Amino acid sequence: MKQKHVLIVGGGFGGVKAALDLAAHEEHFKITLLSDTDAFSYHPTLYHTATGGSREVSDIPLKEILGNKNVEIILGHADKLNRENKTIHTEDGQKLSYDILILALGAVTNYFGIKGMQEYSYGIKSIQEAEELKAHLHKQLIEDKKPDLNYIIIGGGPTGVELAGALPGYVKRIMAQHGLPDTKLHIDLVEAAPHLMPRMPKSVSKAFERQLRSLGIKLYLGTPVQAETANTILMNGKYVRSHTVVWTAGIANNPFFEANGFIVAKNHKVQVDKLMQAWPGIFVIGDNADTQYSGMAQTALYDAHFVAENLIRHAAGERPYAYKPKKPIYVTPAGPHWASVVWGPVHLYGWLGWAMRQAADWIGYKDLEPWWRATELLLAGADHEDNCPICAANAAK
Ligand SMILES: Cc1cc2nc3c(=O)[nH]c(=O)nc-3n(C[C@H](O)[C@H](O)[C@H](O)COP(=O)(O)OP(=O)(O)OC[C@H]3O[C@@H](n4cnc5c(N)ncnc54)[C@H](O)[C@@H]3O)c2cc1C
């Protein structure tokens, strides 16, 4: 039987997993992965990389994962889809044809139109953002020798609480390493909803609030942010001085879909059928698809496996099966050796949660890498080597 050309767009959780699953079936599929970056971003550890953890754990070259598989990697930013000719066009003028298209483009940051936010805030949604934040912290603490008056994290969801849990320890450690006096830090976490982790049960929100307060974080709940300037943030009608505002509060679906005429739901995610098709032969997975648990890496991996398995079944002359959403396990760290686990009615906190987070990361890496490499990455995650030229130069003095 003739090989079908599967074009996968997006080299994140969904795209890479789909490529790996299909790559084992060379007799049926020729696979091309189009990605706008040459590395896979392991988002769950970006907060750790931003606060002194190694880059290696969050930014894994696509060639390392897919290099020796039956997958051609092409770099480019998908711009236009031509359904009639079955082609994808990139911003730099490449034209790629396909028999089957899998779209896994992930989400983009949404600043909700808040004045100055995009211009002045830091982020941790990509490795570039995480490294920029780390470089800024180093400049303040090591070159200028002064912590900020206020560190402000906006967004009390998982990304905000992860960063808030790691930041005090990191800033204190850099201050101690570079001989700065041990002053009280002002680290604020700002959330527009009345509770942290607003999508979780109230008891879970309360546990996070207690945990972060115990680390000295000041919580501003029910506090929408109104504007940001180069050195202030406006919230509750008051200006607070800060040069370190980190925006973790909003994401939106990738604009590719509405620009290319996909039918989207109210939340702007793409409507898919029970095979995850948005159009015959065009599958949309992960953060882009309007499914019950969209927005989690676990869901993107699950979707990719589902679509790949059905394509393999179809190629073997078997009937496909229908999509059933799978409830993820929510494992969220907030501070040294503390994490919460929410698994249906089971809620765990503290060191046990932390151990489960390590296991979850190992499984996350293991979905994409051999077990020994997954173990190496997990161990590298425990490392607090800053890879920072300024720190290295100072340490050598
Ligand atoms: C800071 C952070 C922490 C998170 N922590 C967790 C966690 O602990 N547990 C969990 O389950 N989930 C977590 N998530 C959510 C999880 O990362 C996402 O749900 C998951 O990445 C979605 O996978 P995806 O394949 O849909 O998209 P992504 O993994 O985002 O991959 C999309 C890829 O497509 C590329 N791309 C985008 N547009 C184009 C284009 N036009 N052309 C070509 N390539 C393009 C992007 O560069 C990216 O490589 C976190 C997210 C963030 C931001």
For residue 187, give the nearest of 157, 136, 155, 151 by alpha carbon.
151
Residue 299 has pLDDT above 50, yes or no: yes
For residue 187, give the nearest of 173, 202, 171 by alpha carbon.
171
Residue 251 has pLDDT above 70, yes or no: yes
Model pLDDT, residue 384: 60
Could you give the count of Cα atoms lying within 13 Å of 339 in the half-sphere of its Cβ?
A: 23
163 contacts: CB under 8 Å, gap ≥ 6? 47, 50, 51, 124, 153, 246, 248
Residue 394 has pLDDT above 60, yes or no: no
Residue 389 has pLDDT above 60, yes or no: no
For the Cβ of 160 lying below 6 angstroms from any atom of ligand 1, the answer is no
For the Cβ of 297 lying below 6 angstroms from any atom of ligand 1, the answer is yes
For the Cβ of 12 lying below 6 angstroms from any atom of ligand 1, the answer is yes
Which atom of ligand 1 has the smallest separation from the CA of 79?
41
Distance 108 CA to ligand 1 centre (A): 9
Residue nearest to atom 39 of ligand 1 (CA): 105
Which atom of ligand 1 has the smallest separation from the CA of 295?
19
Residue 348 has pLDDT above 80, yes or no: yes
Model pLDDT, residue 391: 45
In the chain, CATH 3.50.50.100 covers: 117-249+330-396
352 contacts: CB under 8 Å, gap ≥ 6? 341
Distance 232 CA to ligand 1 centre (A): 30
Q: What is the mean pLDDT of residues 225-239?
A: 93
Model pLDDT, residue 1: 64
Model pLDDT, residue 183: 87
323-338 pLDDT, tens digit per residue, is 999 999 999 999 999 9
Residue 392 has pLDDT above 60, yes or no: no
In the chain, CATH 3.50.50.60 covers: 4-36+76-109+251-315
Q: Which of the listed residues 8, 13, 42, 305 should we mutate to test ligand 1's pocket, taking the one with most ligand atoms within 8 A of CB?
A: 13
Distance 298 CA to ligand 1 centre (A): 11
Range 4-36+76-109+251-315: architecture per CATH:
3-Layer(bba) Sandwich (3.50)
Average pLDDT value for the chain: 93
Q: Which of the listed residues 60, 94, 296, 358 should we mutate to test ligand 1's pocket, taking the one with most ligand atoms within 8 A of CB?
A: 296
For the Cβ of 124 lying below 6 angstroms from any atom of ligand 1, the answer is yes
Model pLDDT, residue 336: 92
Residue nearest to atom 52 of ligand 1 (CA): 43
Which atom of ligand 1 has the smallest separation from the CA of 11?
49
For the Cβ of 155 lying below 6 angstroms from any atom of ligand 1, the answer is no
Q: What is the mean pLDDT of residues 52-78?
A: 94
Distance 271 CA to ligand 1 centre (A): 19
Res. 388 pLDDT band, cuts 50 70 90: very low
Distance 12 CA to ligand 1 centre (A): 6
20-37 pLDDT, tens digit per residue, is 999 999 999 999 999 999
Res. 383 pLDDT band, cuts 50 70 90: low
Give the integer Cα–Cα distance in Å for 32 and 72.
5
Distance 317 CA to ligand 1 centre (A): 33
253-295 pLDDT, tens digit per residue, is 999 999 999 999 999 999 999 999 999 999 999 999 999 999 9
Indicate the fold that domain 117-249+330-396 takes in CATH. FAD/NAD(P)-binding domain (3.50.50)
